[in-house]
Amino acid sequence: MQIELSKVGINSTLIDIRTPFEFSEYNVPGSINIPRINLLNSPEVYLNKYDTYYLICSKGVTSLSTAKILNSLGYNCYSIIGGVDNLK
């Protein structure tokens, strides 16, 4: 359920679950910002159960807990180890 960013394919969907402010300060090029609360409140709006998603947060802790919740709902999500703080 955890993966290093270097192992994620270039065309994969990388979702940054931090706040829009945090996302604007620093983000991984190509990632999209969907705050955690939005993603958990309405996952069906943003995700489908056929694709794989890679979640990133600041340190990798919040994205891991979010991935576990979404996976329990039938989605296929992985957490990026170390988060964006590991990339700075």
Residue 57: give the domain boundaries. 2-86
| The pLDDT value given to residue 2 | 97
The number of domains in the chain is 1
Q: 54 and 10 in contact (C-beta within 8 Å)? A: no
| The pLDDT value given to residue 54 | 98
Q: With bands split at pLDDT 50, 70 and 90, how would you rate the model's confidence at 87?
A: confident
Instruction: Give tens-digit pLDDT for 33-79.
Output: 999 999 999 999 999 999 999 999 999 999 999 999 999 999 999 99
| The pLDDT value given to residue 51 | 97
Contacts of 13 (CB under 8 A, 6+ apart): 32, 51, 52, 53, 54
Encoded amino acid at 77, one letter:
C
Residue with the two structure tokens 């620093």: 26
Task: Write out the two tokens for 18.
Answer: 């931090």
- pTM for this structure? 0.96
Helix spans in the chain (H): 20-25, 36-41, 43-46, 61-72
